[in-house]
Amino acid sequence: MNENQGDRRSSAWFGLDSPTGLIHRSWLRNQGIPASMLDGRPVVGICNSWSELTPCNAHLRDLADYVKRGVYEAGGLPLEFPVMSLGETLMRPTTMLYRNLVSMDVEESIRANPIDGVVLLCGCDKTTPALAMGAASVDLPTIVVSGGPMLNGKFEGATIGSGTSLWSMSDDVRAGRMTMAEMAGVEAAISRSAGSCMTMGTASSMAAMMEAMGLALPQNGAIPAVDSRRRMLAHESGRAIVDLVERDVRLSALLTRSAFENALRLNAALGGSTNVAIHLLAIAGRVGVALDLDDIDHLNRDIPLLADVMPGGGRLMEDFYYAGGVPAVMRRLGELIDRSAPTVTGTIGDMIAGAPCWDDTMIRPMTDPIKPAGGIAVLRGNLAPDGAVLKLSAVTPALLTHRGPALVFDGVADLKRRIDDPSLGATADSVLILRGAGPRGYPGMPEAGSIPIPATLLAQGVKDMVRISDARMSGTSGGTAILHVAPEAAVGGPLALVRDGDMVELDVAARRLHLDISPEELAKRGAESWQAPSPVYTGGYADLYQMHVQQADRGADFDFLIGCRGSDPPPAY
C-alpha cells in the first residue's frame, strides 16, 4: 500500500497489505475511485436520510453532492450511504416508533464501515435526533447538515405556516366556519418548496439545537432549503469535516453539558418544540452527559420568547433567517449562553460575537420579548410522579392555574370516536385526558397530545382547554397541553387511574399537576382496577420496542442503547 497510509481508522481496511485489503480496495474501484484516492486521506461517510417518502428530506440527495464538493476540495474521500428515513406526514402508526431503530441503523452503519468521520444529512423531525443518537454511540468526528425549512406558505394573500395554520383551519372546518372546498387551495400553498416545516416545529427546533450545540455550521438552523446559501453551507460542512478528522475532534468533545444547556436555553427563546426535551435527553444518554427533566425546567425558567415564529409567534423560518437566525438569538441571551462551548469550527463565542440582528421585531431584545416565558416547564405531582412537560409559550394565561373535572379518553381510537360527539358532556372547564398513548402504550408515543377542542365547544368559541396526556404533540401545535406524563398509563402510572369527574388541579407557577383524590383511594384503584394492557404487537421490531423502550423522562430510548460503544474497527475475517 501507499506509504502515506497512516493510522486512520479507514486504514484498518484500505491500508492492509493482504488479500483482505485488496478486496476492500478492489470493490471501490467499480465506482471509478482510483488507487490514488485510497492513500490514507480522510474517508468521510455521508449518512443520508434522503427519501421521497420523507418529503422534507427529498432534496438531501442533491445536497449531498455539495457536501462531497467540500470534502474533495479539502482532500478527503466522500462516500455516501443511505439510512432508513422517517417522514412525519406519511408514516404510520408514528415516526417515533422508529426513531430508535434508525439510530441503530446509523450507529451500526458507521461503525461497520471504513470511515474516519461522518456528515449527518437530516431534516424532518425524527431524522435529526435519530442520526445524532446513532452517531453519538460511535463517537467519530461528526457534523450535521440540516435540509432547511420550506419557503413561507402563501394562501389568498396570507402567510401560512406548516402545521400551525393547518390545525387552526381544521378547527374552523370542524366548527363549521370553513368548508373543505374553501380549504383545498392550502394543499399546494402551504408546501411550496423543498424543505421541512417552516414553523418552529420539531424539525426547525432540532436543526437549531444542532447549531447551538456546536455540531453544525452557523445558520444551519434557519437557511431555507432552496436558498443557495444552504448549498454553500453543505459545501463548507464538507470542508469542515475533513478538518475535524485531521484534528481528531470527536462528537463527545462537542456534546458537553454546556452544549445541552446552551441548546435548551435557545429552545426556550425560540418557543421551540416540547419534543426537544425528549430528544436531548436521549442524546445525552448516548454520550453519558447527566441531564434530567429538572435540569430542563431549571434551564428554561424565566427565558422569554424572543423569536416571532409560529406557533409561539406569528411569522416563519424564512423571515427568521433574514433577521439573523440562531446566532442572533444566542447573542441576545447574553450571559445565559456559555460562549466557551466548542463547535465544529471554534467556539460558540466565535459564532455569536458580533452576530447581527436585522429585524428587532422578529428577534426581540430581552427587554421587549414577545412573551415573558418561551420554554418548557416540567410539572410534577400525584398525576405525574416522574414529570410531564408543558410549552409555556403556548399556554393561555387564564389556564396557568386551573381546577376542573377530568374527561378521560382511553387511547387514540376512543378519542377520535367521541371527541366531536354532542353528548360528550365537556365544558370549557373540563380537563381532557388522553391515556394509553405513551411510549409503551400506543406503542410509539404519537403526536396526539394536542387533543382537539370538542366541536361543540369550538362552535361556542372555546379556543383552549387544559389537556393532559402521556403522548407527545407536534412542535407546530399550541395550547395548554401537558404532555409526556411519566410514568405512562400503560405501565401503571397514576394517569391510568383517573376517572371521569375526578378534579384535576394545575398550578404552572408551582409546577404542580394534582389529582384531587386521597392517596388511599388512588392505591385502592391501583390494586382493584388496574391491569397491564396486553401488547399491541406480537413479533417483529415493534415487539422489541415494547420490551425495551424507556419512559419519556429518560428520552424514550431503548434501555440497551444507552451509552457509547465506540468506533473501534470490528474484526475482519
Residues that bind ligand FES (CB under 6 A): 56, 88-89, 124-125, 162, 196-197, 201, 203
User: Is the CB of residue 382 less than 8 Å from the CB of residue 397?
Assistant: no
* Interaction partner, residue 161 (ligand FES, Mg ion, none; CB < 5-8 Å by kind): none
Complex with Mg ion: residue 143 or 309, whichever CB lies closer? 309
Complex with ligand FES: residue 471 or 517, whichever CB lies closer? 471
Kindly report the number of other CB atoms within 10 A of residue 132's CB atom: 29
User: Is the CB of residue 86 less than 8 Å from the CB of residue 55?
Assistant: no
Q: Say whether the peptide bond before residue 533 is cis (omega within 30 degrees of 0).
A: no
Write down the least CB distance from residue 330 to ligand FES, Å: 22
Range in contact with Mg ion (rule: CB under 5 A) among 196-204, 277-285, 303-311, 504-512: 196-204
Q: Which residue has the cell 404533540?
A: 473
Q: Is 474 a residue that touches Mg ion (CB under 5 A)?
A: yes
Q: Which residue has the cell 474533495?
A: 72
Cell numbers for 419, please give them: 371527541
* Interaction partner, residue 124 (ligand FES, Mg ion, none; CB < 5-8 Å by kind): ligand FES
User: Is the CB of residue 303 less than 8 Å from the CB of residue 375?
Assistant: yes
Complex with ligand FES: residue 129 or 487, whichever CB lies closer? 129
Write down the least CB distance from residue 283 to ligand FES, Å: 18
The strand pairing partners of 154, in sequence order, are 159
* Interaction partner, residue 89 (Mg ion, ligand FES, none; CB < 5-8 Å by kind): ligand FES
Write down the least CB distance from residue 474 to Mg ion, Å: 4
Write down the least CB distance from residue 540 to Mg ion, Å: 25
Burial of 566 (0-12, 13-18, 19+ CB in 10 A): exposed
Burial of 523 (0-12, 13-18, 19+ CB in 10 A): exposed
Complex with ligand FES: residue 201 or 479, whichever CB lies closer? 201
Q: Cα Rg for the chain, rounded, in angstroms?
A: 24
Cα–Cα distance, 508 to 521 (Å, whole number): 25
* Interaction partner, residue 196 (ligand FES, Mg ion, none; CB < 5-8 Å by kind): ligand FES
Complex with Mg ion: residue 13 or 320, whichever CB lies closer? 320
Interface with Mg ion (CB under 5 A), residue total 4
Complex with ligand FES: residue 11 or 477, whichever CB lies closer? 477
* Interaction partner, residue 162 (Mg ion, ligand FES, none; CB < 5-8 Å by kind): ligand FES
Write down the least CB distance from residue 80 to ligand FES, Å: 21
The strand pairing partners of 342, in sequence order, are 347
Range in contact with Mg ion (rule: CB under 5 A) among 76-84, 107-115, 121-129, 535-543: 121-129
**CA 544 to each of CA 86, 137, 444, 548: distance values in angstroms, whole numbers, following the listed order:** 18, 19, 12, 6
- DSSP code per residue over 258-273: HHHHHHHHHHHHHT--
Write down the least CB distance from residue 104 to ligand FES, Å: 21
Write down the least CB distance from residue 303 to ligand FES, Å: 24
Cα–Cα distance, 123 to 217 (Å, whole number): 15
Burial of 99 (0-12, 13-18, 19+ CB in 10 A): buried
Cell numbers for 563, please give them: 451509552
Q: Which residue has the cell 478528522?
A: 245
∠282-447-557 over CA atoms, to 5°? Answer: 20
Complex with ligand FES: residue 14 or 320, whichever CB lies closer? 320
Which residues neighbour 551 within 8 Å (Cβ) at sequence distance 6 or greater? 386, 438, 439, 486, 487, 488, 491
- Give me the sign of the Cα torsion angle 444, 95, 105, 561: negative
Q: Is 125 a residue that touches Mg ion (CB under 5 A)?
A: yes
Write down the least CB distance from residue 191 to ligand FES, Å: 9
The stretches of 17-151 forming alpha helices (DSSP H) are: 19-29, 60-73, 96-112, 127-136
Complex with ligand FES: residue 163 or 285, whichever CB lies closer? 163
Write down the least CB distance from residue 213 to ligand FES, Å: 19
Range in contact with Mg ion (rule: CB under 5 A) among 168-176, 195-203, 300-308, 522-530: 195-203
Complex with ligand FES: residue 151 or 351, whichever CB lies closer? 151
Q: Is 100 a residue that touches Mg ion (CB under 5 A)?
A: no
Write down the least CB distance from residue 250 to Mg ion, Å: 30
Complex with ligand FES: residue 204 or 237, whichever CB lies closer? 204
Cα–Cα distance, 196 to 194 (Å, whole number): 7
Cα–Cα distance, 104 to 331 (Å, whole number): 36
Write down the least CB distance from residue 201 to ligand FES, Å: 5
Range in contact with Mg ion (rule: CB under 5 A) among 315-323, 329-337, 474-482, 561-569: 474-482
∠109-61-325 over CA atoms, to 5°? Answer: 100
The mark string for 199-238 relative to Mg ion (x by CB under 5 A, - otherwise) is --xx------------------------------------
Complex with ligand FES: residue 89 or 168, whichever CB lies closer? 89
Write down the least CB distance from residue 93 to Mg ion, Å: 15
Complex with Mg ion: residue 469 or 474, whichever CB lies closer? 474
Which parts of this chain interact with Mg ion (CB under 5 A)?
A: 125, 201-202, 474
